[in-house]
Chain A
């Protein structure tokens, strides 16, 4: 029996185990939607293709498995680009399928024609322009294999309309694409690292998102305790180690705590695990860990030596290498002075916040209230800006894949659709999207998707009527010249939410806003809560962009309260 290219594509997705995908139909991709019509695959109709891309990302980030987004040619494809680039920077397995004008019209400036292959080339792990229906049988499994093998990433498949309509008899279906195990890291490299770690006097483990990607969080904690080595985390590693592990000093870098960055100044050995020495983590790279010998374990050999030269290079799967490393370190190492120094630095440099009674709507109090009101396995997404950094600094993430945030690309508009995707992938769990009044407007249309799906997603908007992190930088580094960072006309977001068919609330600053917030979060179903915060509240500490991490600015006027008090 003959199948159309569209039916073949659908069946290949089914064989990959895809049960839900997000997209928006349009002319060139319509044959595929026709094939979806009688399929068991659930299609989530987003309201903008970027929303579809981030819904798929939310599914992928929450599960670690590749998710699929679909768009038509031309503007459908260009609207997906930001979500694809975002997946690339954060190593998220995503398969983006776009319709294309028929082969005969390619290159003629046809209606809704754009060079999707050319546009996606620099922002994907790999990309394909499918030339025939038969090619789908190779390309679709390969796309899933590539997206999920080694360092994960997005793969784009551009399918011309006539390829979707072409008929073909499929004699034998290909095996679904599966992740290929990475090459095994050779023993001598691990032997040498074990010896160096034993001999180090002041070692630090620097954890990146690769720890979560590899499922290596248990091994990392075991190693830290066996070596009595403090751990620091990047934004992408939050959740791998609980905040109250005595050896965990939390996030390093631009908005990391001062003690965390100072500890790295003193370290004589830095073991980077699935981290890529991003500039927001390292500050001025030449001054990062100036006294340390560096070892770098990464699944992507190209990351090793990219920013800093290393003494120990280990390419491989983090869980596998750490397990074998621990085999070589059977005797616990004792480093009481170094552990005491880490504890001292941690205690000496807490986050600063005003007393709760004085300013209950200070973002750090809000985050504590959110953490207290939702279950420990709740998933938090954020947008990008001050609210994102406050969450990263203060929310007690205890499990992997409970914090979904746009780290590398820093995409405002990520949070709401990613929360929808996470909720689709993890039914029964509470999902909260912490956003800002700038970010939420960038994919606001997905409130309609949320209302339609009726998912347990709470959208919490930290509203300061500004692009807060821009305003903060203008205050600190541009002489207080606030160019284009203030919103003079602010929408009533609670009313907006109600117009979309959701519960919409605005916290009353004169009542007991934290109790009200907690109460609203206990109620089931989707909602938006607009939370007025002080427009002058800044994220501290802050390392000036381009400066070394030890040059962090802090807020001396605020009272110190331990972050986990």
Chain B
């Protein structure tokens, strides 16, 4: 997690929101990053992909800022959002 967020800070990439979900037994996580209007999106992907801890990088055009925002509302559904898990 710190490797991923640190990368955005030191490379000066835009990052608006982060969602991190542990997978299975917690040995791996799925991190969703909201990267709006970042002109260097391919660079972002390549820099992420070369981190040793990063297993795979995928774009999710099906998700929007609203999907991230739903986590901040205290609705009961917030714990199990559909469409977030890969």
| Interface positions of B from 39 to 68, Cβ below 8 Å from A | 42-43, 46-47, 49-53
- Check B10 against A122 for contact (C-beta < 8 Å): yes
Known: A146-B52, A305-B42. A122 touches B6 (CB 8 A): yes
- Check B50 against A300 for contact (C-beta < 8 Å): yes
What CA separation (Å) do A125 and B46 show in the bound complex? 14
Contacts of A118 in B (CB 8 A): 2
A113-128 CB mask vs B (1 if < 8 Å, else 0) is 0000010011001100
What CA separation (Å) do A306 and B2 show in the bound complex? 23
Query: Is the C-beta of A302 less than 8 angstroms from some C-beta in chain B?
Result: yes
Query: Is the C-beta of A332 less than 8 angstroms from some C-beta in chain B?
Result: no
Contacts of A304 in B (CB 8 A): 46
Question: Nearest Cβ distance between residue B73 and chain A, in whole angstroms?
Answer: 33
Query: Is the C-beta of B3 less than 8 angstroms from some C-beta in chain A?
Result: yes
Question: Nearest Cβ distance between residue B42 and chain A, in whole angstroms?
Answer: 7
A-B pairs with lowest CB-CB distance, top 4 = A302-B46, A126-B52, A302-B47, A122-B10
- Check B50 against A302 for contact (C-beta < 8 Å): yes
| Interface positions of A from 493 to 535, Cβ below 8 Å from B | none
Contacts of A480 in B (CB 8 A): none
For A306, the closest partner residue in chain B by CB is B43
B3-27 CB mask vs A (1 if < 8 Å, else 0) is 1001000100000000000000000
Question: Which of A302, A305, A306 has the most B CB atoms < 10 Å from its CB?
Answer: A302
Query: Is the C-beta of A372 less than 8 angstroms from some C-beta in chain B?
Result: no
- Check A125 against B43 for contact (C-beta < 8 Å): no
What CA separation (Å) do A306 and B50 show in the bound complex? 14
Question: Nearest Cβ distance between residue A36 and chain B, in whole angstroms?
Answer: 28
Query: Is the C-beta of A246 less than 8 angstroms from some C-beta in chain B?
Result: no
Contacts of B3 in A (CB 8 A): 121
Query: Is the C-beta of A301 less than 8 angstroms from some C-beta in chain B?
Result: yes
Question: Nearest Cβ distance between residue B77 and chain A, in whole angstroms?
Answer: 35
For B9, the closest partner residue in chain A by CB is A122
Given A126-B53, A302-B50, list of 8 further CB < 8 A pairs?
Answer: A121-B6, A122-B10, A146-B52, A300-B50, A301-B50, A302-B47, A305-B42, A306-B43
19 A–B contacts, CB within 8 A, in A order: A118-B2, A121-B2, A121-B3, A122-B6, A122-B10, A126-B51, A126-B53, A300-B50, A301-B46, A301-B49, A301-B50, A302-B46, A302-B47, A302-B50, A304-B46, A305-B42, A305-B43, A305-B46, A306-B43
Question: Nearest Cβ distance between residue B10 and chain A, in whole angstroms?
Answer: 5
Question: Nearest Cβ distance between residue A274 and chain B, in whole angstroms?
Answer: 16
How many of B's residues come within 8 Å of A, CB to CB? Answer: 13
Contacts of A305 in B (CB 8 A): 42-43, 46
Contacts of A146 in B (CB 8 A): 52
Contacts of B53 in A (CB 8 A): 126
How many of A's residues come within 8 Å of B, CB to CB? Answer: 12
Question: Nearest Cβ distance between residue A93 and chain B, in whole angstroms?
Answer: 14
- Check A125 against B10 for contact (C-beta < 8 Å): no
For B47, the closest partner residue in chain A by CB is A302
| Interface positions of A from 109 to 150, Cβ below 8 Å from B | 118, 121-122, 125-126, 146
- Check B2 against A302 for contact (C-beta < 8 Å): no
A296-308 CB mask vs B (1 if < 8 Å, else 0) is 0000111011100
Contacts of A126 in B (CB 8 A): 51-53
What CA separation (Å) do A304 and B3 show in the bound complex? 21
For B2, the closest partner residue in chain A by CB is A121
Contacts of A302 in B (CB 8 A): 43, 46-47, 49-50
For B42, the closest partner residue in chain A by CB is A305
For A126, the closest partner residue in chain B by CB is B52
Contacts of B42 in A (CB 8 A): 305
What CA separation (Å) do A301 and B46 show in the bound complex? 7
| Interface positions of A from 287 to 337, Cβ below 8 Å from B | 300-302, 304-306
Contacts of B47 in A (CB 8 A): 302
What CA separation (Å) do A126 and B3 show in the bound complex? 9
Contacts of B2 in A (CB 8 A): 118, 121
A420-451 CB mask vs B (1 if < 8 Å, else 0) is 00000000000000000000000000000000
Contacts of B52 in A (CB 8 A): 125-126, 146
What CA separation (Å) do A118 and B42 show in the bound complex? 27
What CA separation (Å) do A122 and B47 show in the bound complex? 13
Question: Nearest Cβ distance between residue B7 and chain A, in whole angstroms?
Answer: 8
Contacts of A122 in B (CB 8 A): 6, 10
What CA separation (Å) do A419 and B53 show in the bound complex? 35
What CA separation (Å) do A366 and B51 show in the bound complex? 45
A200-217 CB mask vs B (1 if < 8 Å, else 0) is 000000000000000000
A536-552 CB mask vs B (1 if < 8 Å, else 0) is 00000000000000000
For A151, the closest partner residue in chain B by CB is B50
For A300, the closest partner residue in chain B by CB is B50
Contacts of B50 in A (CB 8 A): 300-302
Contacts of B43 in A (CB 8 A): 302, 305-306
Question: Nearest Cβ distance between residue B31 and chain A, in whole angstroms?
Answer: 16
Question: Nearest Cβ distance between residue A347 and chain B, in whole angstroms?
Answer: 40
Question: Nearest Cβ distance between residue A360 and chain B, in whole angstroms?
Answer: 47
| Interface positions of A from 263 to 302, Cβ below 8 Å from B | 300-302
Question: Nearest Cβ distance between residue A177 and chain B, in whole angstroms?
Answer: 13
What CA separation (Å) do A118 and B53 show in the bound complex? 15
What CA separation (Å) do A125 and B52 show in the bound complex? 8
What CA separation (Å) do A122 and B10 show in the bound complex? 8
| Interface positions of A from 330 to 350, Cβ below 8 Å from B | none
| Interface positions of A from 345 to 404, Cβ below 8 Å from B | none
What CA separation (Å) do A121 and B47 show in the bound complex? 14
